[in-house]
Structure 1
Amino acid sequence: MADVGFLLEDGFQVMAMATLSVFEFANIEIGRDAYRVTVLSETGGSMRSSLGPKIESTAFSAPPDTLLVVGELVPKSLPPAVARFIAKAGTESRRVAGICTGAYHLAEARLLDGRVATTHWAHAAKLAELYPAVRVEQDRIFVRDGNVWTSAGMSAGIDLALALVEQDHGAAVARSIARRLVVYYRRPGGQSQFSALLDLEPRSDRIQRALIYAKENLKEALSVEDLAGVANLSPRQFSRIFRSETGVSPAKAVERIRIEVAKSMIDDGRHPIEVVARETGFADRDRMRRAFLRTYGQPPQSLRRSIRLIEGSGASSGGDNVSNGRENDSRVGG
């Protein structure tokens, strides 16, 4: 049985508690107590969440097999004893992870010096400013560098926990847990914290329906006529309303969705570039390359090499890294 310690401070972010469900369902799925979870604090007793309700904790002693450090809505400095405990876990625990702004606590304990890390997008720039020795990836769901893991905020802790279980018990178990939790299995670590669908924020159901259709049918041509039909509008009406509600043309919006999904597949590292281009609806890898250059300033191959370099740095730190259009084209976003 692996001991999982869930380290809290008063004011801990209440959403992080959802992470514990991954280990609960891991025990159910495996059919035995594969994980023993203990909520830890410096002194033990009741710890107040960011929402107000409290949870009972046990005073920490020896570092557990896996230590998960939870952050607060507004990061704060740690008591010296807590910082020392986290630093000790960095050398004695098999894994240490910071959930959301828990990355600040790992940085304060000097566990992130020279490492790649992430945190909630709203706090990433400040983390980089306060701890210049940390290589902050501002737009990652989670990152592993050696035995140290960090995740973005809110639901990203679940992605990180699923990756931990996958490391221990394989992809099939983690996939089944995700299914039980009714969450996506599983967002790769390199996936963006942002969503093109959320960023576009259409006001009407018609435009929202067209965007969802586009994401679910990326391999199709997705012409303006196709999308207008989904929205039950004429192509002229559709284009005018679409631009009014999202600020971009249908072609640009679809290209953004194609690029978002393509980058996720590239970061995941399991598909050749040609397959990624085909599955995301780009006519060929050269067209996808031009779209990536417009958006990221570098081609897909360079982004994949960057991920591999991060993985290499993770291995050198003591473990493998598993951070896992042209608007006038008739093929929209292609």
Structure 2
Amino acid sequence: MTSFSANSPERTNAPRLVVFLVYPDIVLLDLVGPLQVFSHALELATDKNGYACAVVSSTGEMVRTNTVVPIPSEPVARYRDQPINTLVVVGGDGANHAMLDADFLQEVKLLAANADRICSVCSGALILAAAGLLEGRRAVTHWEDCKMLAETFPGVRVEVDPIYIKDGHIWTSAGITAGMDLALAIVSEDLGRQAALKVARSMVTHMVRSGGQSQFSPVLDRQLLDTAGRFEELHHWLADNLQCDLRVDAMAERVNMSARNFSRLYSKQMGLTPAKAVEAMRTEKARDLLETTDISIKRIATQCGFNDEERMRRAFLRLLGVAPSDYRQGFKTQ
């Protein structure tokens, strides 16, 4: 590949070089998710001012993944002296070994020294930290690895919740699909929000998420707590009827239980009362509308069953620690 500087004035129409650094036992989606975003951005960019991507490894051979599909790679030495727009270190079980490999970490440092932007996906943050690139910075990784990252590298300011974090020129992201959110955010920064939305639409990704959003899914959390699916139909019904008067009696009738028995069993299974569960679901719906629409806060409160803005404001402050108006300002995606 021809060497070029992504920021060179004479090459303003040249694709930006994105280098993905891989090693044995990576998570396949950690690589191909962001790779597809950048590849789509180049295909959709009308002025071709998109991205050129390379997948590199220490050996330049086929690299084992966590699936039956291996990944071809180029030798990392080929890119040591090339100006790189974005360096992406992917994650996987192999990160636990790679972070202890002094020669591999030296390669990371050499590539990072020539990169305008340094990123990690999932447990790739462990490798950046081992290379000393996260010292004193905010960072996130997959929630299962956050404790290890914090305990092994106490100089890193680990945050558990965000899907990705940008601290200066270094970006870190949470698990697996959060790497696509990170890549879309980079496309938005480089090529503009409309370009990122165009890529997301082409990839049938429903929105471009802000990094401050949580890597935890409330819907998935409910499914994990209710593994037998005892209240699954109820939750679907609640989600479709949040604007209604959802008292305990109505919910109990839906699952053919007495109100007292339902309240007791639900609280034991889900870890919160039925009323608190409804409030949480209404807040989730309101969050989505605040992020993706221009509907007034008053109307959102009505649509989500809060009935008035003050009741919704109190719920947001209690559950999210922020007022609806401030939440919209920070996380609106349109």
TM-score normalised over the length of structure 1:
0.75
Percentage of pairs with the same residue: 36
Determine if the alignment matches structure 1 residue 4 to structure 2 residue 24.
Answer: no
1:223–1:148 CA distance, 2 compared to 1 (3 A): same
Q: How large is the Cα RMSD of the aligned pairs?
A: 3.8
Task: Quote the Cα distance in structure 2 between the aligned partners of 1:217 and 1:241.
Answer: 22
How far the C-alpha of 1:146 sits from its partner, in A, is 0.9
1:233–1:117 CA distance, 2 compared to 1 (3 A): same
How far the C-alpha of 1:184 sits from its partner, in A, is 2.7
1:70-107: CA deviations, max 9, x gaps?
12226322533432343344443121110000111111
Select which of 270, 285, 292 maps to 1:246. 270
The one-letter code of the counterpart of 1:251 is: A
Task: Quote the Cα distance in structure 1 between the aligned partners of 2:143 and 2:291.
Answer: 18
Paired residues, number: 306
How far the C-alpha of 1:257 sits from its partner, in A, is 2.6
1:187–1:142 CA distance, 2 compared to 1 (3 A): same
Structure scoring higher RCO (CA < 8 A, sep ≥ 6) equals: 1
Matching residue of 1:22: 37
Select which of 11, 27, 41 maps to 1:13. 27
How far the C-alpha of 1:162 sits from its partner, in A, is 0.9
Select which of 150, 162, 178 maps to 1:128. 150
Matching residue of 1:53: 69
Matching residue of 1:36: 52
1:251–1:66 CA distance, 2 compared to 1 (3 A): same
1:59-74 equivalence runs, <5 A: 59-60=75-76, 61=80, 62=82, 64-73=84-93
Task: Quote the Cα distance in structure 2 between the aligned partners of 1:274 and 1:89.
Answer: 51
Select which of 189, 199, 208 maps to 2:232. 208
| Local SS of the residue matching 1:71 | coil
Task: Quote the Cα distance in structure 1 between the aligned partners of 2:114 and 2:304.
Answer: 44
Determine if the alignment matches structure 1 residue 112 to structure 2 residue 134.
Answer: yes
Task: Quote the Cα distance in structure 1 between the aligned partners of 2:302 and 2:134.
Answer: 38
1:278–1:132 CA distance, 2 compared to 1 (3 A): farther
How far the C-alpha of 1:24 sits from its partner, in A, is 2.1
1:1-334 equivalence runs, <5 A: 1-16=15-30, 17-31=32-46, 32=48, 34-60=50-76, 61=80, 62=82, 64-73=84-93, 75-76=95-96, 77-201=99-223, 202=226, 207-215=231-239, 222-223=246-247, 236=259, 243=267, 246-260=270-284, 281-283=305-307, 286-288=310-312, 290-291=314-315, 294-295=318-319, 299-300=321-322
1:232–1:130 CA distance, 2 compared to 1 (3 A): closer
1:276–1:138 CA distance, 2 compared to 1 (3 A): farther
TM-score normalised over the length of structure 2:
0.75
The one-letter code of the counterpart of 1:249 is: T
1:165–1:255 CA distance, 2 compared to 1 (3 A): same
How far the C-alpha of 1:57 sits from its partner, in A, is 0.7
1:272–1:206 CA distance, 2 compared to 1 (3 A): same
Q: Does the CA-based 8 Å contact 2:87-2:115 persist in structure 1?
A: yes
The one-letter code of the counterpart of 1:190 is: G
Task: Quote the Cα distance in structure 2 between the aligned partners of 1:156 and 1:176.
Answer: 18
Task: Quote the Cα distance in structure 2 between the aligned partners of 1:323 and 1:120.
Answer: 24
Matching residue of 2:3: none
